[in-house]
Structure 1
Amino acid sequence: MGLIFRWLLRLTGTAVILAVLVVIGVYYLASRSLPDYTKTVPAAGLAAELEIVRNNSNVPHIFGQSDNDVFLGLGYAHAQDRLWQMMTMRRTAQGRLSEVFGARTVEIDTLLRRLDLYPLAVQSVEVQSPEVKEALRAYAAGVNARIDEINRDALGRGAPEFFLFPGPLAPWKPADSLAILKLMALQLAGHLENEVLRARTSLVLNDADRLDDLMPDIPGKGSAALPGFAALFPDAPRVFAANRKPRDPLDPRPAPGRAGASNAWAAATSRSASGGALLANDPHLELTAPTIWYLARLDLQSGGVIGGTIPGMPIVLAGRSEALGWGVTSSYLDDQDLFIERLNPDNPEEVETPDGFKPFRTRRSIVKIKDADPVTLTLRWTENGPVLPGSVYDLGLITPPGHVVSLSWTALSPRDTSMTAAMNLLHARTVTEGVAATAGFVAPAQNMTLADSTGAIALKLVGAMPRRDERHQSQGRLPAPGWIAANRWQGRLPYAANPEFIQPPGGIVGNTNNKIVERPFPLHVSFLWGDSQRVKRWELLMQSREVHTRDSFIEAQLDTVSFAARSLLPLIGAELWFTGSAAPAGTSERLRQDALRLLADWNGEMNEHLPEPLIYAAWMRHLQDRLIRDELGPVAEDFTRVEPLFLERVFRDVNGASAWCDVIQSAREETCTDIARAALDDALVWIGDTYGTQLDSLRWGDAHQATHDHQILGKVPLLRYFVNIRQSTSGGDNTLMRGKTSGEGDNPYLNVHAAGYRGVYDFLDPDSSVFVTATGQSGHLFSRHYDDLSVLWRRGEYVPMSLDEGLARAAAVGVTTLVPME
């Protein structure tokens, strides 16, 4: 027995020692890729010595003798901190994820190949200005200098992820940066998905008024009556249940309802306490670890530029120079149209056009798959655009037999000058120059908010606006017959047609993804807008002060009061407040009374420490589900987030909308009060099962956790606890400090889409500008800069960023010197 024990002890000890050695070895190899920020590195393509000065937040300040050298330095800094992220985004745009990740990403690769984003980016290189071509080449040289250094000095392949998912580190090319910009356009595109959902919903609802309730226009002048999808395509399938698969974190398509958002506003000198223009901006995207944003300062010949960059591109997408600041918000421009294309019944390789049947334009493409045989695709295009498979965007659910679906989209241009426009903005010094600089922007369409040192402010929609025929059958709201000439695009509208607000009389301009203009189709910009609620709170905060300061702009940026909650609760609970007899403790009636008591005293603040936001959110979610479930059936699964305008229409009985309150399958006629009471009970049962019945002890932040998850390692057992960043957060779907909820899974209130970047600038004292990102500068999980900014972000704090070289050098914690290659 003793012998057995001794051998077990020896074996256990050996196993422990081996495990420790393995851990040490893994850590050593992974830590080799941690950047050393104080070193001298030779770089091919560099004209003169260059310095990258990093402050204690790891923000690089890049000083060079020429603009191209500075862009080279930015490429090197991006590759130091975010090489894995850059390479993954490039593979995504190329449709080559499956070479590394295997069969799980074949559908993603297939879609990206069919969209042809990377070949279009390659073609677009030639239409950039000569200066931008040089800048792109210089940036690529900087990225490649880091790759060469990694290979030369055995620096752990550049990131720990490359050990787990090995693949060649191909040199960076100018087209790669253009492809990243096109990939961003895909991440922000929501009209395609909305067209499909509207078509599916219209097939279920026989009453056009009820469709208007559920998918309402933002209040304002309505559109003309339109045909339903069934009228356009009587043979459309009546299969309503979508094949819901778990969404792969690598999928660049936005999840339903998450196509992009943002806030930006500016005040002219007449509304500024300091006498200088003010600007605030916080773009919203899917939360990831690391965030997509990367702070940097570029010392260009035209002056310093500082703000938020996207690794992979040599531009400051949101930020300021000494004289001009710019912020971006999703414009919701309708820049996508789906077309149902009729196949020739005698030859399925031909598609109908206004001039008769014509053959598809085709090309073969091979998708290589790790540990599996390659897949050969036949890519097809019609005159309207690429043909998409029925397996994506639920297109198979709306495609009649003998038809296929194609896509027209402004981003599918081989002459996309968006990069040139974005880089021109870095050299603009006034609002007027900024508006002119972005004339060549194509996609993604953005609202650009501008402020300059003279006190001028403006908002301009930048991006190509499709020219549609006023006789378009669906006005771009539904997939339309592609063989009818009136439905097809007729080029682009001139840049002058893009809405603009320059030096508005009120001295304040801004956008929360709200409707910005009321114009008749086809100059309407969009029927789909991203916000109808945040803008109301923004208007109140802006108009409640005669003049604003940097701090009041920060206060608005971090505001968590829900206008939707304030407006809906008195309406929905009108006949429930303080009614009925006192109920014994422990009964459902008493729990409902306690919940109503809490909500009656609540001011609508979605504070993470309060119970009321959770009760309100759960009530509204269950209420909407009860209202629509019997009419929509399986399609109700696509309406998992609350639409405040729908609930308002129902409870105000706008155009007969209270009809939603009656349950079709029941014998009695339910009232809206009945449904509101039952939905509150549903919500309290869910809360009780999930968090307990002690309502006073509930915390919104326990449900509304920010999910900064690693796209690859975030679901790996054990490892996910090291790579994911989870935080209790305030805000909600309809607050200015927006934290959009997932609407799915066991916890539909997770904060999955929020401001990855925040910046506020005062042009009287530009060095008082403050910035923050949602995670940290580094994408390396062993770096202290992987998540150091996330703590500030959660608390609503910022880091100062100055264009003063002396301040940058005084606070330096590392200086990387790049020298020309001998």
Structure 2
Amino acid sequence: MSTLIIWLLRLAGGAVLLAVIAIAGVYFLLSRSLPDYDKTLEVSGLSAPVEIVRDNANVPHVFGRTDTDTFFGLGYAHAQDRLWQMIMLRRTVQGRLSEVFGPRTLEIDQVLRRFDLYTLARQSVAVQDAETRAALKSYSDGINARLTEINRDALGRGAPEQFLFNAPVAPWQPADSIALIKLMAVQLSAHLSNEVLFARTSLALEDPARLDDILPLAPGSGIAALPEYAALFPDTEWPRMARAQDTPKHPLSPFHRPAFAGASNAFAAAPTRSASGGTLLANDPHLGFSAPNIWYLARLELQSGGVIGATIPGIPVILTGRSASLGWGITSSYMDDQDLFIEELNPDNPAEYRTPDGYKPFRTTRSIIEIKGADPVTLTLRWTENGPVLPGSHYNLAEVTPPGHVASLSWTALSAEDTTMSAAMTLMRAGSVETALEAGRLYIAPSQNLTLVDQDTIALKTVGAAPRRDARHESEGRMPSRGWLTENRWQGTLPYAANPEFIAPRGGILGNTNNKIVDRPFPMHVSHLWGDTQRVHRWQRLMQGRGVHTRDSFVEAQLDTVSFTARSLLPLIGADLWFTGEAAPDGSPERLRQRALTMLADWNGEMNEHLPEPLIYAAWMRALMDRLIRDDLGPLSREFDHPDPVFIERVFRDVDGASAWCDVRQSAATETCTDIARMALDDALIWISERYGSSLESLRWGEAHQATHDHQVLGNVPLLRHFVNIRQSTSGGDHTLLRGRTRGGDGPDPFQNVHGAGYRGVYDFADPDSSVFIIATGQSGHFLSRHYDDLSQLWRRGEYIPMSLDPALARAASVGVTVLAPETP
């Protein structure tokens, strides 16, 4: 017996020893790709040594003798910290994810191949100005120098993920960086999805008058009502609204519903509204959360001076930031730069489609998608005069495409002469608002609202190509239209001067929260779809609440968690519920409802992570939206997975008969809006009790509203996800300036924070080096690095790090200095 025990102990000890050796071996292999920031390296492609000083937050300060040398250093730094992220972004826009991940990413590849963005990016290289072409070439050389170093010195394939998903890494090309800007346009564009949703909803509703309720125009619009979609194709037998195949939802997918398209805040103060007498600028662009974050902080020393701010790895420009004399911030403009067309096929020859001049053949090419572990798929790509043809399996197009027709897309990003990269390069070198506005002429896509400040002036300008539409366009771009009608087709683009512009306003304050900035009739309308109708009211209150502002007051506004929406909707929805009803015994649903209403009556609308009221409010609005629309829209109601404040307000104010949504059509009784509000609150409280318990006072919004900075590839892998994902309790909500967009839908965690400000910056030109910035995770994409998440807690607490161009401050507590020296013969 004792011998058996001894051998069992030996076997157990041996197993433990083997496990330790295995773990040590894996750690050794993975840690080989951790970059060494303190070294001298000889590389080819430089005219003089480049110094990369990494401050104590691992922000690289790149000093080169020439601009091209500096961009070389930025490329090397990007590849050191974010190589895997860059590879994935490039594979995404090329439509080549399936070569690594197999059939699960095939849908993403098919859509991107049909857009053919990478081909357009290669063609766009030639139209960049000489300085931009040189910068792109040198930046690519810097990335490739890192790739050469990795291969030569066996540095763990450059990233831990390469051991699990090993695939050859091609050298970086200038076209790759241009392609990533086009990929940004995919992520920030929502009009295609919204046009399809508008058409599907038009077909699903029995009463066309209700379309303006569920998909309302931004308040203040004077645009007339549109025809019912079915009226455009009167002889069509439309399918019922079954759940069709939707846009791919893989974590690497760049396609987003309108609710998750780009959002942002940017606001500026002139010297007359600044306590210090200098201009102020704050910017926090909102995108989907991930680990690592999409943004990467950097400082570049150019011949025109130093620039510092946020980059996207793979793109060699400071997209939002400042120089010594100019600050710039970006917000999504929501310009209507996409139109979907229904193209009629020739009944005698389906290889042709109808045009104003008769039937013409499609322009076609073939594209082969290689798939790991499966046979390759060959796509036939078809283009019309309006743009690429998209199959019915994408974007639910099958539901709105009549038999004998196909859908095509016009989109400003589908340009082979895209000079957006040159515009961004020129902007970095601009020294004043005037020259920065001139640089905006070269922007094509994605369209942005560019907020600018120099020492004396503030300005906001919408940049990006705006389609020129005919005033007779039958749908005004709100839903798909017939592609063979001349009046529906684009007629080029509008002049840059037609884009909205605000320079040196008399009030001394300007900004944008993705709200509607102009009220112009179609076709000069800019957009029917705007990203915000709510945050702007809170922003106005904070900006006008004081005569002058400081850097700290701008920080306070960025971090504000008070929901204007909650403050305005709750008194309206609960008007007949507050403090009504008879006494109810403890533990009964009625008593629980009374407790919830009492708590909400005393709440100021602050979406604080430590409070219970935000969770009760959010759950109530979610249940209310479902109650209002489910019986009218059926399965389509799942597409409206976030409560729409404008819709709810229309219903409860009975605007144009909108209270009809409160009556459940399938029931014999006639329900009032008070009935629906009460039932929705009970639904919400039951859900909360099942999920978090019935002790309402002990609820915490932050427990439900966790920020999900998840690794896009490894984030769902058991055990490993605990090392690569970053989760944090957060304040804010869908409609607060500290925006934390919730996941929505009917899943188990509908209030997780999945979309918000991955970057925040506040620039004070009275004392530029007192400016501050932060990103949501850390600078490194390597999950074994201490810089993988070292900024995340600062970000969660609303703290910042210095945004200084002073080289001495960068060197004072640097984590390393890398010197890239020209290779000796």
Question: Cα distance, 1:135 vs. partner?
Answer: 0.3
Question: Cα distance, 1:3 vs. partner?
Answer: 5.0
Do the aligned residues in 2 keep the contact of 1:341 with 1:351 (CA within 8 Å)?
A: yes
Alpha-carbon distance in structure 1 between the residues aligned to 2:399 and 2:9: 62
Question: Cα distance, 1:256 vs. partner?
Answer: 4.7
What corresponds to 1:679 in structure 2?
680
What corresponds to 2:173 in structure 1?
173
What corresponds to 1:63 in structure 2?
63
- Structure 1, residues 347-388: CA drift from partner, whole Å, max 9, x if none? 111111111110000001110011111111111101100011
What corresponds to 2:104 in structure 1?
104
Alpha-carbon distance in structure 1 between the residues aligned to 2:5 and 2:680: 63
* Partner SS, residue 426 of structure 1: helix
Alpha-carbon distance in structure 2 between the residues aligned to 1:13 and 1:379: 60
* Partner SS, residue 189 of structure 2: coil
| Structure 1 segment 529-540 matched on structure 2, within 5 A | 529-540=530-541
* Partner SS, residue 546 of structure 1: coil
Alpha-carbon distance in structure 2 between the residues aligned to 1:347 and 1:416: 35
What corresponds to 2:185 in structure 1?
185
Seq. identity, %: 71
What corresponds to 1:603 in structure 2?
604
**What amino acid is aligned across from residue 214 of structure 1 in structure 2?**
I
Moved more, 1-10 or 324-333: 1-10
Do the aligned residues in 2 keep the contact of 1:757 with 1:772 (CA within 8 Å)?
A: yes
- Normalization by structure 2: what TM-score? 0.99
What corresponds to 2:433 in structure 1?
431
Alpha-carbon distance in structure 1 between the residues aligned to 2:10 and 2:110: 53
Alpha-carbon distance in structure 2 between the residues aligned to 1:757 and 1:668: 51
Alpha-carbon distance in structure 1 between the residues aligned to 2:221 and 2:302: 47
Moved more, 118-127 or 230-239: 230-239
* Partner SS, residue 517 of structure 2: coil
* Partner SS, residue 576 of structure 1: coil
The answer on 1:798 being equivalent to 2:792 is: no
What corresponds to 1:321 in structure 2?
323
| Structure 1 segment 5-404 matched on structure 2, within 5 A | 5-234=5-234, 235=236, 237-243=238-244, 247-404=249-406
Alpha-carbon distance in structure 2 between the residues aligned to 1:298 and 1:15: 52
Do the aligned residues in 1 keep the contact of 2:222 with 2:521 (CA within 8 Å)?
A: no
The partner residue of 1:787 within 785, 789, 799 is 789
* Partner SS, residue 809 of structure 1: helix
Do the aligned residues in 1 keep the contact of 2:306 with 2:323 (CA within 8 Å)?
A: yes
Alpha-carbon distance in structure 2 between the residues aligned to 1:547 and 1:413: 44
**What amino acid is aligned across from residue 489 of structure 2 in structure 1?**
R
Alpha-carbon distance in structure 2 between the residues aligned to 1:776 and 1:240: 44
Alpha-carbon distance in structure 1 between the residues aligned to 2:473 and 2:761: 41
What corresponds to 1:661 in structure 2?
662
Question: Cα distance, 1:206 vs. partner?
Answer: 3.0
Alpha-carbon distance in structure 2 between the residues aligned to 1:307 and 1:481: 44
How many residue pairs get matched?
821
Question: Cα distance, 1:5 vs. partner?
Answer: 4.2
What corresponds to 1:467 in structure 2?
468
Alpha-carbon distance in structure 1 between the residues aligned to 2:394 and 2:693: 40
| Structure 1 segment 475-514 matched on structure 2, within 5 A | 475-514=476-515
* Partner SS, residue 385 of structure 1: coil
* Partner SS, residue 257 of structure 1: helix
Alpha-carbon distance in structure 1 between the residues aligned to 2:557 and 2:237: 47
Alpha-carbon distance in structure 2 between the residues aligned to 1:238 and 1:510: 44
Cα pair distance change 1:607/1:244, threshold 3 Å: farther
Alpha-carbon distance in structure 1 between the residues aligned to 2:715 and 2:302: 38
**What amino acid is aligned across from residue 672 of structure 2 in structure 1?**
T
Alpha-carbon distance in structure 1 between the residues aligned to 2:708 and 2:393: 28
Question: Cα distance, 1:244 vs. partner?
Answer: 6.0
Question: Cα distance, 1:233 vs. partner?
Answer: 2.4
Alpha-carbon distance in structure 1 between the residues aligned to 2:415 and 2:43: 34
**What amino acid is aligned across from residue 680 of structure 2 in structure 1?**
A
* Partner SS, residue 9 of structure 1: helix
Alpha-carbon distance in structure 1 between the residues aligned to 2:207 and 2:171: 56
- Structure 1, residues 716-736: CA drift from partner, whole Å, max 9, x if none? 011001100010000000000
Do the aligned residues in 2 keep the contact of 1:236 with 1:398 (CA within 8 Å)?
A: no
The answer on 1:587 being equivalent to 2:585 is: no
Do the aligned residues in 1 keep the contact of 2:193 with 2:257 (CA within 8 Å)?
A: no
Do the aligned residues in 2 keep the contact of 1:230 with 1:236 (CA within 8 Å)?
A: no
Mind listing any 5+ residue stretches in structure 2 that lack a counterpart? none
What corresponds to 2:557 in structure 1?
556
Question: Cα distance, 1:13 vs. partner?
Answer: 2.8
* Partner SS, residue 255 of structure 2: coil
**What amino acid is aligned across from residue 340 of structure 1 in structure 2?**
I
- Structure 1, residues 752-771: CA drift from partner, whole Å, max 9, x if none? 00000000011010000000
Question: Cα distance, 1:147 vs. partner?
Answer: 0.5
- Structure 1, residues 648-698: CA drift from partner, whole Å, max 9, x if none? 011111111111111111111111101100000000000000000000000
- Structure 1, residues 522-570: CA drift from partner, whole Å, max 9, x if none? 0000010000000000000000011000000000000000000000000
Alpha-carbon distance in structure 2 between the residues aligned to 1:123 and 1:569: 53
The partner residue of 1:807 within 792, 802, 809 is 809
* Partner SS, residue 287 of structure 2: strand
- Normalization by structure 1: what TM-score? 0.99
* Partner SS, residue 217 of structure 1: coil
Alpha-carbon distance in structure 2 between the residues aligned to 1:807 and 1:305: 15
Alpha-carbon distance in structure 2 between the residues aligned to 1:243 and 1:814: 53
Alpha-carbon distance in structure 2 between the residues aligned to 1:343 and 1:821: 60
Question: Cα distance, 1:221 vs. partner?
Answer: 3.1
Moved more, 38-47 or 440-449: 38-47
Question: Cα distance, 1:2 vs. partner?
Answer: 4.9
Mind listing any 5+ residue stretches in structure 1 that lack a counterpart? none
* Partner SS, residue 140 of structure 1: helix
What corresponds to 2:525 in structure 1?
524
Question: Cα distance, 1:255 vs. partner?
Answer: 3.8
Do the aligned residues in 1 keep the contact of 2:191 with 2:258 (CA within 8 Å)?
A: no
Alpha-carbon distance in structure 2 between the residues aligned to 1:275 and 1:614: 42
Do the aligned residues in 2 keep the contact of 1:662 with 1:671 (CA within 8 Å)?
A: yes
Question: Cα distance, 1:780 vs. partner?
Answer: 0.2
Do the aligned residues in 2 keep the contact of 1:208 with 1:228 (CA within 8 Å)?
A: yes
